[in-house]
Amino acid sequence: MRVLGIESSCDETAAAVVDDGGVVISDVIASQFAVHAPYGGVVPELAARAHLSNIAPVVQQALAALPRGLDDIDGIAVTRGPGLLGALLVGVCAGKSLAWSRNLPIVFVDHLVAHLLAVFLVRDGMQSEVPEFPFIALLASGGHTAIYEVRAHDDIELVGQTRDDAAGEAFDKVGKLLGLGYPGGPRIDKLAAQGDARRAPLPLPMPSTTRLDFSFSGLKSALARRIEVDGPPADPQALADLCAAFQHSVVEVLVQKSVAACTQRGIPRLVLAGGVAANAGLRRRGAELCTSRGVRFFVPPLASCTDNAAMVAYAGHLRLSRGERDPLDAMAYSKSADRLRGKILAR
């Protein structure tokens, strides 16, 4: 079964084709970084308009990898949320139109579930080591930061989550405070590798592992107050040290609580998911702590961490393979998807 996946939840217009076993046949992404960079963050209206311009060529490029294009597709999977309403609407309408025009089955996929299952994708004929069920997953991105227990593809429990800012959002906001531009996360990660966190220490946000929730707004405020008093670091090394200190505080809490979840749940397997999983410091510290605690550590390739349509196609493939279908009627789809989301991600 070959499934066309469509992803448009935020600022990436993406389409992909995935075959049986999670084999990625094509994976196309049109980024909107240049559109949103002047504003220091994603502007929802501009994102929706960019999706409208990009969706047709992106889908066409993804289908070009097949000999007969859309005629070789057996089903369609589309991100239905969470995300920006206008952005999601573009992808949903495109998926529905294609499904209706060819009488193809369609399923609507939760964006977070797709991230949690991205570790199973097979890219370029190679699959990284994959975990057995159950496993603990840390999902960290620009809009979400949470820990889940994943017992099966369709049996997922929320264990802990951020009470305010997501980790990726905190990275981008701090990047803006430091004048690093948008997106701030990759720039902070790069500078942090050249810095020493001990020369510009910052507090660990909500460090206790008794409760597995997160909070990053206080850390962001502490750094903002430091900049307000001292000004942005003028010396390149001082800037790198401050980036290292901020990244250390975020990464240490993410990793400590995720490994604590493994211990508390008796599951010695941890998976990283989401865009922040591309952070080199997080990958390195996760591997270190997991090794010392006897926890196996699984990290997808970078292409599977950031928003992509291959993960949506794979999650949809699993639903279609079980015989599940979603109706094209908007109201019926909404009620069905809401019930699914409540079942899978309820705390």
Q: pLDDT of 160-193, one tens digit each?
A: 999 999 999 999 999 999 999 888 899 999 999 9
pLDDT in tens, 77-92: 999 999 999 999 999 9
Residue 12: per-residue pLDDT: 94
Residue 128: per-residue pLDDT: 73
Return the residue matching tokens 């890219």: 123
pLDDT in tens, 268-286: 999 999 999 999 999 999 9
Give the confidence band of 328 by pLDDT, cuts at 50, 70, 90.
Answer: confident
pLDDT at 326 over 90: yes
Query: Which residues, in sequence order, are CB contacts of 277 under 8 Å at separation 6+?
Result: 138, 140, 283, 299, 300, 305
Mean predicted confidence (pLDDT) in 214-220: 94
pLDDT in tens, 2-34: 999 999 999 999 999 999 999 999 999 999 989
| pLDDT averaged over every residue in the chain | 92
Superfamily for domain range 3-124+305-345: ATPase, nucleotide binding domain (3.30.420.40)
Return the domain boundaries, the chain: 3-124+305-345, 135-299
pTM of the model: 0.92
Residue 39: per-residue pLDDT: 87
Give the confidence band of 334 by pLDDT, cuts at 50, 70, 90.
Answer: very low
Say if strands 135-140 and 145-152 run parallel, antiparallel, or are unpaired: antiparallel
First to last CA, the chain: 33
pLDDT in tens, 106-135: 999 999 999 999 999 999 887 778 999 999
Residue 54: per-residue pLDDT: 97
pLDDT at 336 over 80: no
Give the confidence band of 329 by pLDDT, cuts at 50, 70, 90.
Answer: confident
Residue 125: per-residue pLDDT: 81
At 68 the three-state DSSP class reads: coil
Cα Rg of the chain (Å, integer): 20
Residue 337: per-residue pLDDT: 45
Residue 340: per-residue pLDDT: 42
Mean predicted confidence (pLDDT) in 227-239: 91
Domains 3-124+305-345 and 135-299 in one fold = yes
**Domain 135-299 in this protein, CATH class:** alpha beta
Mean predicted confidence (pLDDT) in 240-257: 97
Give the confidence band of 330 by pLDDT, cuts at 50, 70, 90.
Answer: low
Q: Name the percent of the chain lying above pLDDT 70.
A: 95
Q: Name the percent of the chain lying above pLDDT 90.
A: 86
Handedness of CA 73, 133, 164, 225 (dihedral sign): negative
Mean predicted confidence (pLDDT) in 296-324: 96
Handedness of CA 152, 255, 114, 60 (dihedral sign): negative
Residue 333: per-residue pLDDT: 42
pLDDT at 137 over 60: yes
Residue 131 exposure: Cα atoms within 13 Å on the Cβ side:
27
